[in-house]
Chain A
């Protein structure tokens, strides 16, 4: 018996993710995907969304996927480090000029090839979903990279992000996400980096001196499924599903800049400080952080870096 509202004979697609369903770009996209699949693939497939890490967190979900217990997930790109070091490209600071450059790279041959790069480990990338460009905040003004000297920054525990924070003299710290707000407020850590929608959604701006519009990195998601599951699908089911997924991805990715800017505006409306950098100041951050690239060039591939830079130059 299936207690979860799918009919017999339908392919069940469980999609587990870690955000809310109505405010976060990923949650919104997941709901939209669910509605379209359940409407248009009635009788063939049925999708159930498990938001808010209720079923799996980002770390567990990939294990569960390889195990066959969940069919769809969209962890942030840095979660795929263990599968292939190529995805470290997206964590490298100032690799992409803006979200348009990120999008162009993801749609390029290099970006599309990365979708297939984990096949031998059992994962197939299906689509990129944007969240946005990362900004940096702290309990004091961050204008020049020297301002970050000696500050404790909460980061995702990726080697690249650790190296990036160390490059500006910061001290990277790891902690449970639910404790970050309290830790920032109480001063256990001094700062953090995130997208506008995350900074707004988690209310980090309330407990920071201000946010500096650095756009120094990107937080994006990769929608993945297991190779074995995809192979097990009838061809028409698979094709219809990927078509719907691609359409949803395009629609949401096009709208994400707007979501991001709304979050930015909401932060301003709440009376919080947002600091913009002039060209020289921004260059100082680039100069301080860019040396990190060298350390990871072998992982991400020079050709991918070149492709990303060519796109930046063309925009």
Chain B
């Protein structure tokens, strides 16, 4: 009962415009002061430990930084050109290329809204010009953008791994096949719609264009290779080189080098628009000045600010988690569910419902921090694989992002496309159906999530 008051308070505060982080933190503090003997100082300790005690969360700022360097530079543009060269000639080709580009960018970026902004800001305009309706274009990108958190790297997966102590690397592998599948299903749905509605097809630009656009996008695509090879190695050739957290840091350094010294879209060698970029030979001092160049500082700051807003939510969600643990709520929830005789199937339905409802109000990472510890012990008890549970959660978060009232991708798409929220909601609806089918598949076919991690890293060990 007490807990119900807590959750009602969190949602109520959020709805009147209190920042999510403060809603979580303030409700937790009141709950703690009223119902327990624990001190206010313990809240401050938890706040500090959100950073100091969770090494894996470090991946978040680094993946955000890598993605910022990649979007500030023109990498998104190059990826789109490559996507169009590959699939643009199919019926509905530009839309399919949009999904394809979202999948590729998702493999560079850990966030869904970032994916929508990077790809959507270019593709939606291009699609409208090519004769698609704006609603269709917005609906496609709004949905495909959710792949940002399913295809690794993924901020939401890092948060899940941190909250439940499973390996980040394993979680990332778990997302690969579902991510490719969801993307393929979306592309297939578009292709069918395009045939039915007789949508435009682009010209086949030839293998030359595929090769040329690939070469142009190469340095951006290399980031995917660096992350994957760095974390997992190449079987038979090299072992892994770094942990997922380090991979994120290396990715951000690489993205900086690619944007400033290779593509020269930004930084001291960039001509800022007109004219030819200069080279290191002409301006060797750029090797140093690049570090404090205005563009570098700006990108660092933007990524830092984004990290601050996300992590402040996560840190306060960790406070709520701490208070729930202190009051032994997870055990009680587990007891209640198990004594109600829940089996695996029923349990997974309940998890889906909780997350779908929660996802209507909450920012995904914060929601995961709270829900994962509540359901994880039950999942283990019922023999649900932790990675499978994690992927289910991520797919739920994806759906939450494209359903009102709180849907990060809806907001962002409405901004990118210059459409009203309600119009975007309607536009996204047909593809939402695809994601729902996908959610059911992911929920009841565990092998989709567990096959690749088991193949690469052996069977999951459960030490709890």
Contact = CB atoms under 8 A, between A and B. Distances in A.
B233 A187 contact: yes
Given A176-B56, A187-B233, A69 B240 contact: no
A186 B233 contact: yes
A64 B37 CA distance: 13
B166 A178 contact: yes
A181 B165 contact: no
B40 to A, nearest CB: 10
Interface in A47-95: 48, 50-55, 57, 59-60, 63-64, 67-69
Interface of A: 1-5, 12, 20, 23, 48, 50-55, 57, 59-60, 63-64, 67-69, 175-176, 178-179, 181-183, 185-188, 201-203, 206-207
Contacts of A203: 458, 461
A186 B167 contact: no
B454 to A, nearest CB: 12
A176 B55 contact: yes
B166 A50 contact: no
A206 B42 CA distance: 39
Contact of B330 (A23, A54, A67, A186): A54
Contact of A54 (B38, B240, B373): B373
B17 interface: no
Contacts of A69: 38-39, 41-42, 45
A48 B42 contact: no
A185 B458 contact: yes
B267 interface: no
Interface of B: 2, 35-39, 41-42, 45, 49, 53, 55-56, 161, 165-170, 231-233, 238-245, 322, 325-330, 373, 457-458, 461, 463-464
A31 B161 CA distance: 27
Contacts of B39: 67-69
13 contacts: A2-B36, A3-B2, A4-B327, A54-B373, A67-B39, A175-B55, A179-B55, A179-B243, A182-B167, A183-B243, A185-B458, A186-B232, A187-B238
- 5 nearest interchain CB pairs? A187-B239, A186-B240, A176-B55, A203-B461, A69-B42
A179 B244 contact: yes
A235 B362 CA distance: 50
Contact of A181 (B49, B167, B238, B325): B167
B56 A20 contact: no
Given A63-B45, A179-B169, A181-B167, A4 B241 contact: no
Contacts of B458: 185, 203, 206-207
A52 B464 contact: yes
A188 B326 contact: no
A185 B243 CA distance: 11
A185 B45 CA distance: 34
Given A3-B2, A5-B328, A183-B240, 7 more contacts: A1-B35, A3-B328, A67-B39, A69-B45, A185-B457, A188-B239, A188-B241
A179 B168 contact: yes
